[in-house]
Amino acid sequence: MARQRPVGTITRGTTNPNRLRRVDRWLAGPQAWRLRRPGPAPVVVDLGYGASPVTAVELHDRLRRVRRDVEVVGIEIEPDRVALGQPLEREGLSFRLGGFEVPLDGRQATVVRAFNVLRQYDESEVAAAWATVQQRLTPDGLLVDGTCDELGRRSAWIAVDRSGPVSLSLSWRLRGLDRPSDIAERLPKSLIHRNVEGEAVHDWLRALDEAWLRAAHQASFGVRQRFLAAVETVRAEGWPVNDGPARWRLGEVTVDWSAVAPAGQASRA
């Protein structure tokens, strides 16, 4: 039988070492339970890893600390990029040709990390890409659709399970942060054009900015204390903020998808 043609288009492929450390830290932290569940070794996919296999190698090293038998598979639609990664294969790390169809020889993925991939697509194409990947997830699996800057100092990602989007996470390098909404240019494709009046994600970023300004007096105790105070404020205002201070100190905040879902789209209850 003829091999299925990979689903998707070739991305620019830009990448850098340590660029995805923020989302990897989240996968190894609040999401680690998905990897630790009893059963066969979990499969984690680095989808569209780009011109260098470095992010897949780093993901493998980081998640092996969570579960020693985790298997990381780097999947790329460009054959030359796959060939570049294959000499680095070792126990629990492999590379193969593919796209959003996530070819895993009949297995399902516990996590599919797709960073800086859908950013290069049209917003109208996002739902179909999500749906294709969702079919390849385990019952408690997760697609992580995210975007970050070139050095990984600002990062944003949407968590999508088999039922639909679950949450939006934002992560900043706090030192030198002017205002939280500076991350707007790094929002994932499904939200980046929604940062306008009347859209929930715009309200969320504005609430963070206002709380950040009101917490300016905390700056004398350090930028982390200021950020902690800002997140405490938005939570007190009723925003459905996840996790707690241990995550916020890292410059990371996650909010339920229902709070930022685009206007006109059904939000998950």
Domain assignment present for 8: yes
Predicted local confidence at residue 2, as pLDDT? 44
Domain assignment present for 60: yes
**Residue stretches of the chain with pLDDT short of 50:** 1-2, 267-269
Six token digits for residue 198: 């009347």
Domain assignment present for 229: yes
**Do 160 and 217 have their domain in common?**
no
Our count of domains for the chain comes to 2
**Do 39 and 148 have their domain in common?**
yes
Predicted local confidence at residue 268, as pLDDT? 45
Six token digits for residue 59: 């993901």
CA distances 19 to 14, 59, 76, 232, Å, are 10, 11, 18, 28
Domain assignment present for 23: yes
**For 252, how many CA atoms within 13 A lie in the half-sphere containing its CB?**
24
Cα-only R_g, the chain: 18
Six token digits for residue 252: 């990371």
**Do 119 and 222 have their domain in common?**
no
**Do 58 and 9 have their domain in common?**
yes
**Do 142 and 98 have their domain in common?**
yes
Domain assignment present for 262: no
Residue 229 domain boundaries: 194-251
Domain assignment present for 261: no
CATH number of the domain that 39 lies in? 3.40.50.150
**Do 69 and 161 have their domain in common?**
yes
Q: Which of 130, 163, 162, 189 is nearest to 267 (CA)?
A: 163
**Do 162 and 210 have their domain in common?**
no
In angstroms, the CA 82 to CA 97 distance is: 6
Predicted local confidence at residue 266, as pLDDT? 52
Domain assignment present for 265: no
In angstroms, the CA 58 to CA 52 distance is: 11
Predicted local confidence at residue 9, as pLDDT? 78
In angstroms, the CA 161 to CA 242 distance is: 16
Q: What is the pTM of this model?
A: 0.94
Q: Are 231 and 181 in contact (CB under 8 A)?
A: no
**Do 48 and 162 have their domain in common?**
yes
In angstroms, the CA 103 to CA 114 distance is: 14
Domain assignment present for 269: no
Six token digits for residue 243: 């996790």
In angstroms, the CA 189 to CA 111 distance is: 19
Return all residues near 130 (Cβ < 8 A) that are at least 6 apart.
Answer: 143, 145, 160, 165
Q: Which of 30, 12, 99, 22 is nearest to 55 (CA)?
A: 22
